[in-house]
């Protein structure tokens, strides 16, 4: 036993923040990485993408992905550039969506470096991209598809099982079973809401000794108001005035959810059947994946959606080229434009806002989380002007916010954790800002009676079976030593 290294987890990203999700798993047989996310958002965080990776990239035998959002897979091309040449295991949906978002991310990294070189703000000369589009395309050949609910041997003595997380297409929680210690660790990945209109809710956890749980909304409960009522009123009213409804939406999944609601509103006659334009190349490609998977009857979808043609009631047009997008400017309302990015930080939606936000007949419908400092957040808080392309534009359009989150809220997270059977010895809370993580830890302890701690960046913990300790007696507590954190890598 002494000669066998104990299985260890190391939280190298996504701890203390909602991006950069990465956890190393070391066993006697090798080393894997669960998720390989990009740090995003504030500059201080983004700079972490440039720091040396904590272990040699070529010491990692395999990467396991929970889903295709960049904060969970966007570092992969970089890891490959640094020398990781092993397999990347993920579900079919994740493979297809990663094939869209990773090359796009590489393209953006290149554009950012080119911009830095033009205006000379980089410390490095010349400024280099974190990775290129070509690097991102190259790493796609390392992706291997796994089936949901089918254990896969990822290392000798280490089985991984992907279970539906209901967050976006392909999203999974990952359970790891270590044969040597006969213990199971379950990574939540990002969990969806039980109310996702297209996807089935998250699967149960099943047996788990250790759970690593996300806490993006660990301190929030989503509003219970029906978003369709608000959408119906805004669209009908704007249509009466001959105006345009602009809906900034994240390209992957949120666009599909918005369209699903629009489809129902049209099908039931609650809004006029206006022309709808999806104006985002990435959203169009993701839409193609959702449509083909639904048509093929993917079991990730709700039964009523399987085998169907999505959004059949609407007059939907996808504008692919820049010229088609620009042509929308001269088109008169009423109509609906769904365009990325969801927080109006970039993408084609900025052009539409610049063109339409000054007209009181139009409306901007915000459908998701708006990070502080973004244009979406400014609009949500009633800004009188927003700045785009160096100009301040007056906001005269009506601005309305609804909640179509792809993320589980606190109740959803607790509900999912309660499905662990038998209950875990400990829950490590990660993937959240400090306040959200602390609130979730408290709720897990108070309401579920489980031990929970916040995963700290760089922290190492064991996931073998803890020695029996007498909780009532003098044995040390779970937190103090049974799941002992050790220092160093």
Q: Closest separation between CB of residue 70 and Zn ion, Å?
A: 9
Instruction: Report the DSSP pairing between strands 183-187 and 210-214.
Output: parallel
Cβ(385)–Cβ(376) under 8 Å?
no
Q: Closest separation between CB of residue 311 and Zn ion, Å?
A: 23
Q: What's the CA gap between 304 and 69, in Å, rounded?
A: 26
Query: Helix (H, G, I), strand (E, B), or coil: what is residue 329?
Result: helix
DSSP code for 444: I
Residues that bind Zn ion (CB under 5 A): 69, 190
Which is nearer to Zn ion, 69 or 261 (by Cβ)? 69
Which is nearer to Zn ion, 69 or 264 (by Cβ)? 69
Q: What's the CA gap between 21 and 430, in Å, rounded?
A: 9
Total Cβ atoms within 10 A of residue 449 = 8
Which is nearer to Zn ion, 69 or 196 (by Cβ)? 69
Which is nearer to Zn ion, 10 or 216 (by Cβ)? 216
Q: Closest separation between CB of residue 376 and Zn ion, Å?
A: 18
Query: Phi/psi class of residue 394: alpha, beta or left (left: φ > 0; alpha: ψ in -120 to 50)?
Result: beta
Cβ(467)–Cβ(425) under 8 Å?
no
Q: Is 221 exposed, middle or buried (0-12, 13-18, 19+ CB in 10 A)?
A: exposed
Which is nearer to Zn ion, 217 or 277 (by Cβ)? 217
* β-bridge mates for residue 212, sequence order: 187, 428
Q: Closest separation between CB of residue 73 and Zn ion, Å?
A: 10
Which is nearer to Zn ion, 88 or 357 (by Cβ)? 88
Q: Closest separation between CB of residue 33 and Zn ion, Å?
A: 17
Structure tokens at 432: 């959240």
Starting at the edge strand found earlier in the chain, the sheet holding 426-430 runs 152-155, 158-164, 172-178, 183-187, 210-214, 426-430, 452-454
Which is nearer to Zn ion, 27 or 405 (by Cβ)? 405
Q: Closest separation between CB of residue 190 and Zn ion, Å?
A: 4
Total Cβ atoms within 10 A of residue 186 = 25
Q: Closest separation between CB of residue 433 and Zn ion, Å?
A: 15
Structure tokens at 404: 């179509």
């Amino acid at each position: 036993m002494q000669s066998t290294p104990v299985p260890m987890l190391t939280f190298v990203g996504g701890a203390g923040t909602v991006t950069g999700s990465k956890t190393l798993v070391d066993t006697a047989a090798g080393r894997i990485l669960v998720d390989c996310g990009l740090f995003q958002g504030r500059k201080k965080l983004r700079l972490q993408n440039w720091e040396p990776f904590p272990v040699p990239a070529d010491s990692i035998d395999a990467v396991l992905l929970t889903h295709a959002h960049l904060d969970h897979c966007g570092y992969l091309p970089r890891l490959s550039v640094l020398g990781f040449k092993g397999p990347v295991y993920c579900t079919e949906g994740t493979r297809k969506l990663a094939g869209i978002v990773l090359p796009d991310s590489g393209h953006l990294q290149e554009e950012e470096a080119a911009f830095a070189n033009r205006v000379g703000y980089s410390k490095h000369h010349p400024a280099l991209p974190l990775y290129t589009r070509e690097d991102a395309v190259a790493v796609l050949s390392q992706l291997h598809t796994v089936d949901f609910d089918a254990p896969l041997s990822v290392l000798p003595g280490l089985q991984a099982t992907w279970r539906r997380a209901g967050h976006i297409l392909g999203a999974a929680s990952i359970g790891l079973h270590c044969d040597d210690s006969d213990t199971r660790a379950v990574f939540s990945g990002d969990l969806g809401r039980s109310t996702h209109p297209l996807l089935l809710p998250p699967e149960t956890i099943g047996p788990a000794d250790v759970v690593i749980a996300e806490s993006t909304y660990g301190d929030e409960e989503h509003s219970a108001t029906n978003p369709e009522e608000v959408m119906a009123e805004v669209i009908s009213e704007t249509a009466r005035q001959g105006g345009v409804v602009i809906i900034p939406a994240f390209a992957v999944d949120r666009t599909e959810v918005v369209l699903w609601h629009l489809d129902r509103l049209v099908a039931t006659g609650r809004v006029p059947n206006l022309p709808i334009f999806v104006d985002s190349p990435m959203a169009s490609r993701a839409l193609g994946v959702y449509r083909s998977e639904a048509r093929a009857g993917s079991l990730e979808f709700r039964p009523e959606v399987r085998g169907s043609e999505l959004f059949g009631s609407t007059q939907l047009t996808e504008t692919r080229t820049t010229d088609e997008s620009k042509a929308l400017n001269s088109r008169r309302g009423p109509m609906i434009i769904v365009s990325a990015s969801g927080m109006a930080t970039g993408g084609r939606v900025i052009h539409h806002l610049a063109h339409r936000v000054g007209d009181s007949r139009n409306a901007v419908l915000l459908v998701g989380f708006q990070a502080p400092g973004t244009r979406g957040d400014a609009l949500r808080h009633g800004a009188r002007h927003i700045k785009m392309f160096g100009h301040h534009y007056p906001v005269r359009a009506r601005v309305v916010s609804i909640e179509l989150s792809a993320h589980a809220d606190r109740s959803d997270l607790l509900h999912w954790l309660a499905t662990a059977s038998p209950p875990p010895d400990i829950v490590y809370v990660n993937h959240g800002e400090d306040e959200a993580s602390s609130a979730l830890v408290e709720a897990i302890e108070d309401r579920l009676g489980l031990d929970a701690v916040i995963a700290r960046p760089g922290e190492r913990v064991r996931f073998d079976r803890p020695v029996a300790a007498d909780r009532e007696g003098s044995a040390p507590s779970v937190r103090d030593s049974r799941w002992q954190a050790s220092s160093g890598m």
